[in-house]
Structure 1
Amino acid sequence: MLRWFKCLAVILTLSLALSLALGACSRVGLAYRNLDVIIPWTLSDYLDMNGEQKGWFNERLKEHLSWHCTTQLPGYLDWLDSLQVMVENNQVTEAALQARTQEAKDAIAQTAREITPSAIELLQGLDDKQVAEMNDAFAKDQRKRQDEYLKPSLDQQIKERAQRMEKRLDDWLGPLSTTQKQRVADWSKALGDQNTQWIANRAHWQKQFSAAVGQRQSPEFAQRIETLLVNRESLWTQAYRQAYAKTEAQARSLFVDLMAESTPAQRERLLKKIKGVRKDFTELKCLKAAL
């Protein structure tokens, strides 16, 4: 995901036990002001745009940011308000989290649909050298993730996953109790070899994306890219589809249990964090003009 899109996804999927890289987006306003890509992956990690492409891209970026800030962010304020009420009333339930999660997915899909035409236009203008560089970068990405997430033994993968989650939760809830730490450990163990399915599916998507870009002048190109960027789930492997459903369910269960065991101080810290995100949104000049 691109940096800004990742930040957006992180905020909107907070209800999934804060299971994404929360540290990647500590301040929404800062992320907005430093947004340098607008398609659903970190473009700079995979290819270099030439001067003409960068100029076109920067102009299109301004248009997308204006649209997003004035039409989408007001709805995020309502979403954050709903999340805040859940925590304040100590009503973090499975049903409530499912509702917030679906709202988050809908919001992300709407943004993906809006920016996809720009992604298509940019990709159609790539030369063969840029496409080759992108494919090489995909291969490097796959090797890196396999080394990091698959080479360790399964026991080590489970241990490291729990440690990453504890670190994220510590930022949003504060230090976990012994009971909460054990719950995180149980959550990580329940996911088993989820890393295998995640990385395999990522490689599967990249392969399809590379194939589509290789045929970027074909009449079917726009539709193929829209499917890859907007309807990604339709292209998931069957194994990953099952693993993802399990991951979502386990994340909801984890967060419900953690909040049930939470202290007043932890809930207050979480509320402060939510309010901080909301404040960052409301301080954006474009949003002030829209409200």
Structure 2
Amino acid sequence: MQQLTSMIMQKQRWLKTLLASVLILALTACTAKLMYRNLDWAVLEFIEDYVTLDGDQEEILELQLNQFTQWHKTEELPRYEAQLRSLYDTDLSLVDEEFLIEQHQIFRTHIKRLANEITPELYSLSHSMSKEQIDEFLLNLTEQHNDYSEKYSQMSEREARVRYKERIEKILRRWLGTLSIEQKSIAYQWSSSIERTHQDWAAYRVETRDRVKTMFARRDDPFFYQEELTTLINNPEQGYSNELKGKLERNRALANQSILAILSTASVEQKQHFKQEVADWLELVQELQSD
């Protein structure tokens, strides 16, 4: 069984990468089950890539993550199951832009609930960090940002378009199977028209890092500290520039138009392939709930 859609993993910074991993994306089925059943360990390992925790912090965080994973299993997995059932029952021939927008919004709601639920744990952990831990965290965050900027700034226009096309076709093959010549042509036009956002994201990352630095510097102001941390986690879009917002909106509209064009040419075999993919993920979510 292949990956669940990776469309929402585009353009998300480190926290959303963490939260998206909770949704068992970008994993094979067996790995997904192993990841989910050991989610507390995986999250702890992820956090320690940024900051070294002491024994007390690890113990407290482990207890909090146990509660979080239980909440996710009982509250969130049924919501994922409901969305998957809706997708399974969908006739691809009847999908319109309204349906795509609705599915995107449902997924965004999943993410926002996760962010809201984990905010108290992250607040507690960040508030307990020493100056040395804060310095380590900011250093690792800066290094990650620099790696991102260097990676994408060195990518030529042609390389970027090739990468877009490869990613798009890879996702389409996973959900539809073998693509027709016409569908590949649509994918090519889609990849050729995407507005690049790497510079916008680099600027956003720098601004976010500076906000985090200011937040820690004002940790003695509990109202500001809690409000800023909550905003960074639950409403990151607030920091997007108008230019970035415009590009994201246009790219999303382009994606919807391209997806609809591709689905309008879907064969019977491709529709069956899509239904089986959804069925496999539906089975996985049900299995995780019964564990």
Letter in 2 for 1:105: R
Equivalent position to 1:143, from 146, 157, 167: 146
- Aligned 8 A contact 1:29 1:281 in 2: no
Question: Partners of 2:16 and 2:46 in 1: how far apart?
Answer: 4
Q: Structure 1: which 5+ runs fail to align? A: 12-21
Deviation, 1:113, is 0.8
Closer, same or farther: CA 180–199 of 1 in aligned 2, 3 Å: farther
- Aligned 8 A contact 1:28 1:281 in 2: no
Equivalences, count: 274
Deviation, 1:4, is 5.7
Residue 7 of structure 1 aligns with which residue?
A: 21
1:105 aligns with 2:108: yes
- Aligned 8 A contact 1:205 1:235 in 2: yes
Deviation, 1:108, is 1.4
Question: Partners of 1:176 and 1:45 in 2: how far apart?
Answer: 39
- Aligned 8 A contact 1:80 1:274 in 2: yes
1:276 aligns with 2:280: yes
Letter in 1 for 2:236: R
Closer, same or farther: CA 241–148 of 1 in aligned 2, 3 Å: same
Partner secondary structure for residue 23 of structure 1 = coil
Question: Partners of 2:28 and 2:246 in 1: how far apart?
Answer: 29
Residue 206 of structure 1 aligns with which residue?
A: 209
1:96 aligns with 2:99: yes
Partner secondary structure for residue 154 of structure 2 = coil
1:125 aligns with 2:128: yes
RMSD between superposed Cα atoms in Å = 2.4
1:221 aligns with 2:225: yes
Q: Deviations over 1:205-255 (max 9, x none)?
A: 233223223333321111111100001112212221112112221222222
1:159 aligns with 2:162: yes
Closer, same or farther: CA 205–179 of 1 in aligned 2, 3 Å: farther
Residue 191 of structure 1 aligns with which residue?
A: 194
Residue 12 of structure 2 aligns with which residue?
A: none
- Aligned 8 A contact 2:50 2:136 in 1: yes
Closer, same or farther: CA 83–29 of 1 in aligned 2, 3 Å: same
Letter in 2 for 1:262: A
Equivalent position to 2:60, from 44, 56, 62: 56
Deviation, 1:203, is 3.0
TM-score, normalised to structure 2, is: 0.85
Letter in 2 for 1:69: K
Letter in 2 for 1:169: L
Residue 137 of structure 2 aligns with which residue?
A: 134
TM-score, normalised to structure 1, is: 0.85
Query: Which segment is superposed worse, 238-247 or 53-62?
Result: 238-247
Question: Partners of 1:155 and 1:130 in 2: how far apart?
Answer: 41
Residue 253 of structure 1 aligns with which residue?
A: 257
Q: Deviations over 1:152-187 (max 9, x none)?
A: 222221221211222232223223222222222211
Deviation, 1:150, is 2.1
- Aligned 8 A contact 1:4 1:32 in 2: no
Closer, same or farther: CA 8–182 of 1 in aligned 2, 3 Å: farther
Partner secondary structure for residue 140 of structure 1 = helix
